[in-house]
Amino acid sequence: MDGARFWQTLIQAVVQGITEFLPISSDGHLVIAGKLLEQAFGTISTGAETMQLIIGLHLGTLLATAVVYWKELWSLLYRRRLLVAVILGTIPAGVIGLVFKDWFEQTMSSPLFAGVGLCVTAVLLLAGQRMELNLVELEAIRLPHAFAIGCFQAVAILPGVSRSGSTIAGGLMFGLTRQTATTFSFLLAVPAVGGAVLLETIDMVRGKSGGLAIGQLLLGAIISFVVGLTALRFLIRIVTQRKLHWFAYYCLIVGACVIGWQLC
């Protein structure tokens, strides 16, 4: 791994660790940061290589999620109804991800898609906060609502649409308390992101994925894990304080700037 690739991976890993848990779309920021870094360092990455790096960075933040929510994940072994809710909520993203995998890889090299997606995230966050009822606890999540929240997660496969932001907003719309919406969002993240990591690993073994070095992927995963631990704990405090609109305004401003950058 040359110096340019090292610094690109280091910066993108920090970006991933911060943005994966804040409702501002890690994928969108990685696409935007990746394009800016390519221009700065004079490197070029294919859509497949970008997707491979994003999956590697997601592995680090997935481990951070498991560390923070290990009690809730372990409890799924005896909380059968909640386990069924998580499974139902995972299905939409799994189906959409498999069917449109190649197309999504192409969008990972387009900052314009990311800019539009950030604007979508802003709308979802504002709608979720405005419509929240703050009533339903984790054990009382209705299964149809779990599936519907999973559909919000499926939309977040697009770069710029925040996975945590869309699922938390969806949870608030269906009456979940802020704490429940946040917890359920990250319970859904484990099988969804874990499945994506597994599929990308299989493609790497078969030689069908990008050609990034293992060392580059490991470096990114470790850094995103460390940074992600801090960001996740920060998000939990922010959601319970009803301040999602902060992130909505941020997404709207950045999304509009990126769209203008790409169209000019």
3-class secondary structure, 23 = coil
What's the pLDDT score for residue 142? 95
* Spans in the chain with pLDDT lower than 50: none
CA distances from 179 to 33, 138, 160, 241 (A): 31, 9, 24, 10
What's the pLDDT score for residue 244? 85
Q: Tens digit of pLDDT for each residue in 9-51?
A: 888 888 888 888 788 998 889 889 888 888 887 766 655 667 7
What's the pLDDT score for residue 52? 75
CB 223 within 8 A of CB 97: no
Q: Which amino acid appears at position 141 of this protein?
A: I
What's the pLDDT score for residue 194? 86
Q: Which amino acid appears at position 241 of this protein?
A: Q
What's the pLDDT score for residue 204? 67
